Amino acid sequence: MALQESTALDFYQTYFEPMVYLDYFKMGQSPVGDDCLYFLLKHYHAIFKSGGLKGKLLIDIGSGPSIYQLLSACESFEEIIATDYTDKNRLELEKWLKKIPGAFDWSPVVKYVCELEGDRDKWADKEERLRRTVTQVLKCDVNKEQPLEPAVLPLADCVLSSLCLEAACLTQEAFRAALRHIRTLLRPKGHLVLGGGFDTTFYMVGAKKFPCLPLKEKFVCEALQKSGFTIQKLETAPRAAETMSDEQSDYTAMFVVVAQRND
Ligand SMILES: C[S@@+](CC[C@H](N)C(=O)[O-])C[C@H]1O[C@@H](n2cnc3c(N)ncnc32)[C@H](O)[C@@H]1O
């Protein structure tokens, strides 16, 4: 592993503060957070709603301390396995799953997704459903050939990764390698759903700056194709003009891509 990559990993373990990061997901309080969140929630809803992607097992790669990305998928997958590189993120996620006092309040986000699904009032049921559906929170490193080792899992019907790969992979080669690594978790013809930002060089977590690999649409599409995927859907939206003065991150657009493992 290149020095730059291993340094980046230690940086996450040491400096990524889950509760500070979660400020992005306090709806109405972070222009950048809202911009990313509304885009991703809308598209995950479209991808996982009735008639969309479904199956037995979904693995979420680099979940962080977050659950927003699983709120639609938990209606169409029997089991979800969440993963992250840092111990603090996995603990923070477990805190919400186990309803431990002091856990982040996701209820405004859950209510919004329930509204997209047609019934805002069922938010408490959805929280319980998600808690039942997420069966494990595992250690993950996308830079490893087997990202979840030593865990041995059945092949997933779907792998999801939201705002993770551009943070976890700081070179184009590392990004391509991570796609190949993640592919090993997916059954043939299974689906990969990636959500992220274009052109991001950094995002802030409190006063700490986290570097990112600036992605371009052409690079992401070529990397997926070369890693054995066929792109089925690509949605993009430019960053909202009113967020431009927010210096929390410098992404220029958001994207969600759905790709199918070829064989
Ligand atoms: C911007 S956060 C996104 C978290 C979550 N998916 C979300 O959307 O809120 C980036 C995440 O990537 C994780 N990460 C960093 N390096 C990683 C690696 N090598 N393998 C897996 N995850 C990694 C971090 O711990 C962090 O949780």
At 8 the pLDDT is 57
- Collapsing DSSP to helix, strand or coil, 73 comes out as helix
H or E segment to which residue 260 belongs? strand 253-261
Atom of ligand 1 nearest to the CA of 86: 25
Atom of ligand 1 nearest to the CA of 25: 9
Find out whether the beta carbon of 20 lies less than 6 Å from any atom of ligand 1: no
Complete domains list, the chain, with CATH: 3-261 (3.40.50.150)
Check: CB of residue 234 under 8 Å from CB of residue 222: no
At 143 the pLDDT is 96
The closest alpha carbon to 260, from 192, 182, 170, belongs to: 192
Low-confidence ranges of the chain (pLDDT < 50): 1-7
Q: Kindly report, residue by residue over 162-173, the tens digit of the pLDDT.
A: 999 999 999 999
How far is it, in rounded angstroms, from Cα 165 to Cα 137?
Answer: 18
pTM, whole model, 2 decimals?
0.96
How far is it, in rounded angstroms, from Cα 50 to Cα 71?
Answer: 13
How far is it, in rounded angstroms, from Cα 112 to Cα 244?
Answer: 24
At 10 the pLDDT is 86
Hey, whose CA ends up nearest to atom 16 of ligand 1?
168
- Collapsing DSSP to helix, strand or coil, 205 comes out as strand
At 50 the pLDDT is 86
At 19 the pLDDT is 98
At 6 the pLDDT is 47
How far is it, in rounded angstroms, from Cα 87 to Cα 94?
Answer: 11
How far is it, in rounded angstroms, from Cα 193 to Cα 210?
Answer: 23
At 9 the pLDDT is 57
Find out whether the beta carbon of 130 lies less than 6 Å from any atom of ligand 1: no
Quote the ligand 1 centre to 83 CA distance (angstroms). 9
Find out whether the beta carbon of 89 lies less than 6 Å from any atom of ligand 1: yes
